[in-house]
Amino acid sequence: MTKIDFDILYRYKRPIQPQGPMGFQVFMETILFIDGENFIKKIKAVLEQSGQEAPQLHLYNFKGLLNKVLKDVKIDRRIFYFARIKEHLETKEKSKQLIEAQRLLKTALENQEFEFILAGRVRGQMEKNYKGKETLVFKEKGVDVKIAVDMVIAACGGKLKTAIIGSSDSDLQPAIAELRNRKINRIYLGFEMMPNKGLVYTANSTILIRNSEVLEFVSKALV
């Protein structure tokens, strides 16, 4: 298992507010946890289904989309998680392109007031496809583990009031079940196209992003 950085959630913690002579009360937060690669794949699938070409990711208005679909939820922190891209010896040029695209996306998301956390890794490797031909495949590992650990740490530390899970990865179900055991409010943020039924069941409530909402923010100016 990869080494876990247990300071991720605590370095952003809010100050403790005094509550009379008996002690202190810690702020409890509503945090949006987004698995970046999983979330973006869903957006690309919607665009492909509609016949639209996916824009460069750093030009997409993620802030506008999420402000609209989560307009009734007061969110304290919004976090995108991505895997760190490593150069592949056989595909240095492609790796460099992906690294540059991720750099541009990081800048764009931070300008849209999201936190950007790198966890795990993306590596290219040659695999045989169903025809027996070797094809370069880029695989992401470790992001779901990092999200799960961060959610549980925040819950155990008494800092989490509501977790909004922007991922359709079933591997997060055990962590979400642990939040349920700790009476943490859980909102599954999915897409109307192929929502994850397991996450729908494990969460308190579900918000599904409509295809029309994804399309609305492809060309809308960033605000």
Cβ neighbours of 86 (radius 10 Å): 13
In tens, the pLDDT along 133-154 reads: 665 555 666 799 999 999 999 9
In tens, the pLDDT along 68-111 reads: 999 999 999 999 999 988 776 666 777 788 889 999 999 999 99
In tens, the pLDDT along 7-56 reads: 433 333 333 333 434 444 557 899 999 999 999 999 999 998 888 877 78
Statement: residue 127 has pLDDT above 60 = no
Say how far apart CA 44 and CA 5 lie, in whole Å: 31
As a CATH number, domain 27-216 is 3.40.50.1010
Task: Look at residue 99 in the predicted model and tell me its pLDDT.
Answer: 86
Q: Where are the domains of the chain?
A: 27-216
According to the 3-state scheme, what is the secondary structure of the chain? CCCCCCCCCHHHCCCCEECCCCCEECCCEEEEEEEHHHHHHHHHHHHHHCCCCCCCHHHCCHHHHHHHHCCCCCCCEEEEEEEEECCCHHHHHHHHHHHHHHHHHHHHHHHCCCEEEEEEEEEEEEEECCCCCEEEEEEEECHHHHHHHHHHHHHHCCCEEEEEEECCCHHHHHHHHHHHHCCCEEEEEEECCCCCHHHHHHCCEEEEECHHHHHHCCCCCCC
Q: Which carries the bigger pLDDT value, residue 87 or residue 170?
A: 170
Task: Look at residue 136 in the predicted model and tell me its pLDDT.
Answer: 55
When mean pLDDT is compared across 63-67, 88-92, 100-104, 115-119, the lowest value belongs to 88-92
pTM beyond 0.85: no
